[in-house]
Amino acid sequence: MNAVVAAVAVMLVLSLCRVHVVVALIVGAVTGGLLGGLGLEATLDAFQGGLGKGANVALSYALLGAFAVAIAKSGLAHALADRALGLVNQQRGEGHGKLKAMLLMVILAVAFSSQNVLPIHIAFIPLLIPPLLFVMARLNLDRRLVACVLTFGLITPYMFLPVGFGGIFLNDILLANVIESGADVGGVNVMAAMALPALGMLLGLLIAVFISYRRPREYDDARIEQGSSESVSYNRWSLVVALMAVAVAFSVQLWLDSMIIGALAGFVIFSVSGVVRWREADGVFTEGMKMMAMIGFIMIAAAGFAEVMRATGSIQTLVDSSAALIGNNKALAALLMLLVGLLITMGIGSSFSTIPIIAAIYVPLALQLGFSPLAIVALVGTAAALGDAGSPASDSTLGPTAGLNADGQHNHIWDTVVPTFLHYNLPLIAFGWLAVMVL
């Protein structure tokens, strides 16, 4: 059995059995390393060598967590939650349906903005979502639906719109690796290539909204109150400072291309203004780092897992064996290459990291089979994006869980990973395959 397939299978089975994702990643990596012929010592060396590659992202999220707690202290998110709760209390019955729709649209808009307009990725989730949990409970809103909305907003913009993170994914990584691998895509419109796959994501969202999770779901209000932070007082000054800090953090991040420095600059604004008192700054900073610690550790472990998979050489073997099965069958070729991309991304948790792994093999094979440049871009881009939703180690699933599980009533695997896998990966395979065949 291929070591990558075995490692990902072990990791997924353990995760579904409610074993912690970090433990599942470690056990999966060791399993893959041993089956790949590395031996225990070489496997552990490769795993430890890969840990450092996830440290920068983990530190970024830790500092963004501290910044998010500072914003929470200002009362900005609670002001929004209080306004939403006031609307809930004013309207009943029919009005609640409109409020649900409005709340979901606001969450979706913020998620979209976090990828393209103000690229802070998942840092907004632990800031915005926990204060809204009580409002969601009053509306009987299924959190699995909210997880699907958040994941859609975190993935679809970067795989379709070449702005912000989308500019990095589509232009700097996707097109650059396709060109480096031998395809002439000079005149390719990357948005046209990824339009059908993005439409598949939209179909998955509509199914989640109007079919899968339209029914009300009840949550324990007492647990929400226990899991929520202490009551936060706010005034006009604290809200103005919060908006200023957000603007400074975004500006510094875009200027220096550093989430770490951007978050630090925003935190300094809170400290200097007095919204976060100087003697409380250390505690606020520590609280924020704790809040994002789980995501950081999982991403560090995922980097170690990915390094073991690369060291075994089994990724290349998996791609080569798929190519051998294909022959001259273009339809089968497209399907198998998409499925292999799904498997790789599910394991390493990063669509951005999957493209360099698969492009070197997929592009020459696709050229040999006669796929057009537009179809090749759609193939590699979709194969990489597959698995970002539904991977236990992806920040696109870890982020929603970090916010929705603030009170312990939202399970990462069964309430985020499984719903997003079913609603996004399955349509993405179908629409990605269709794109490759018709473009």
Scanning 257-329, the segments in alpha helix (DSSP H) are 259-273, 278-291, 293-312, 314-326
281-315, pLDDT tens digit by residue?
Answer: 777 777 777 666 666 677 677 778 778 877 887 76
Token digits of residue 205: 């969202």
Which tops the pLDDT comparison, 31 or 309?
A: 31
Would the pLDDT of 117 be above 70? no
Residue 61 has pLDDT above 70, yes or no: no
**Tokens in use for 224?**
């929400």
Q: For residues 123 and 136, what is the distance between their CA atoms, to the nearest angstrom?
A: 20
pLDDT, tens digit, 9 for 90 and up, residues 355-366:
766 776 778 778
Task: Inform me whether the pLDDT recorded for 424 exceeds 90.
Answer: yes
- Output the CA–CA distances (angstroms, integers) from residue 258 to 118, 163, 194, 249, 355, in the order listed: 13, 17, 28, 10, 23
Q: What pLDDT does residue 207 have?
A: 95
Nearest Cα to Cα of residue 117 among 26, 247, 222, 14: 247
Composition of the chain by helix, strand, coil, percent to 5: 80, 0, 20
Flag whether pLDDT at 7 surpasses 80. yes
What is the pLDDT, as a whole number, of residue 202?
95
Residue 229 reports pLDDT greater than 60 = no
Question: What are the angstrom distances between the C-alpha of 59 and each of 147, 296, 320, 347?
Answer: 24, 7, 36, 22
- Per the model's pLDDT, the better-predicted residue between 77 and 124 turns out to be 124
DSSP 51-76: HGGGHHHHHHHHHHHHHHHHHHHHTH
The pLDDT tens digits for 92-108 are 655 567 788 888 988 88
Distance CA 383, CA 379 (A): 6
Residues 58/296, Cβ–Cβ less than 8 Å? yes
Q: Which residues neighbour 413 within 8 Å (Cβ) at sequence distance 6 or greater?
A: 15, 16, 18, 392
Long-range contacts of 245-248 (CB under 8 A, 24+ apart): 245/67, 245/70, 245/71, 245/74, 245/269, 245/270, 245/273, 246/71
N- to C-terminal Cα separation, the chain: 34
- With contact defined as beta carbons under 8 Å apart, do 336 and 325 qualify? yes
Tokens of 238: 């604290």
Percent of the chain with pLDDT over 90: 15
Higher model confidence: residue 158 or residue 316?
Answer: 158
Work out the percent of the chain whose per-residue pLDDT is above 70.
82
Q: How far apart are CA 58 and CA 123, in angstroms?
A: 12
Angle at which helices 293-312 and 395-404 cross, to 10°: 160
